[in-house]
């Protein structure tokens, strides 16, 4: 995927407590991922949030993908 998509993700301490957001709006990457994981389609998200574009959703997915690539995940012992 193009790193150009990642330019849509912004980190600003003045917006949503510095969480990654879409184009400095109050829509967090976390929100978009939660909507997708709840079963909403890209079209439904775009319909419910008119300022969100398909490329914004792809940028959120790329951002999340990059995060899991750099983190090691270990199973917690009981």
Sorted by where each starts, the structural domains of the chain and their CATH numbers stand as 3-65 (1.10.10.10)
Cα distances (angstroms) measured from residue 25 to each of 19, 30, 43: 11, 13, 19
Encode pLDDT of 20-41 as tens digits. 999 999 999 999 999 999 999 9
Q: Is the pLDDT of residue 14 over 60?
A: yes
- Total residue count of the chain as it appears in this document: 78
Q: From 71, 51, 45, 58, select the one nearest 9 (Cα to Cα).
A: 58
Encode pLDDT of 51-74 as tens digits. 999 999 999 999 999 888 876 667
pLDDT at 38: 98
The pTM of this model reads: 0.82
Report the phi/psi class of residue 4: left, alpha or beta, with left for phi > 0 and alpha for psi in -120 to 50.
alpha
């Amino acid at each position: 995927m193009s790193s150009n998509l990642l330019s849509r993700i912004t980190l600003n301490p003045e917006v949503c407590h510095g969480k990654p957001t879409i184009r400095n709006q109050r829509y967090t990457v976390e929100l978009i991922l939660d909507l997708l994981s709840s079963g909403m389609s890209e079209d439904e998200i775009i319909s419910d949030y008119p300022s969100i574009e398909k490329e914004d959703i792809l940028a959120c997915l790329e951002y999340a993908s990059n995060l899991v690539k750099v983190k090691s995940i270990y199973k917690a012992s009981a």
